[in-house]
Structure 1
Amino acid sequence: YDILVKGQFIVSKAGIEVMRKQGFGGDIVNIVSKNAVVAGPNNPGYGSAKAAQAHLTRLMAAELGADKIRVNTVNPDAVISDSNIWSGGWAEGRAKAYGVTVEELPAYYAKRTLLNEIILPDDIANACYAFVGGLLGKSTGNALNVDGGVGMGFYR
Structure 2
Amino acid sequence: MMACAGGQPGTDAERPVLFSVVTEPIVCCPNDPDDAKTLSDVAGAKIDEVFIGSCMTNIGHFRAASKLLEGKKDMPVKLWMAPPTKMDAKQLTEEGHYGVFGAAGARMEMPGCSLCMGNQAQVKEGATVMSTSTRNFPNRLGRGLLVFSAISDGTQS
Q: Same fold (TM over 0.5)?
A: no
TM-score when normalising by structure 1: 0.30
Structure number with the higher strand fraction is 2
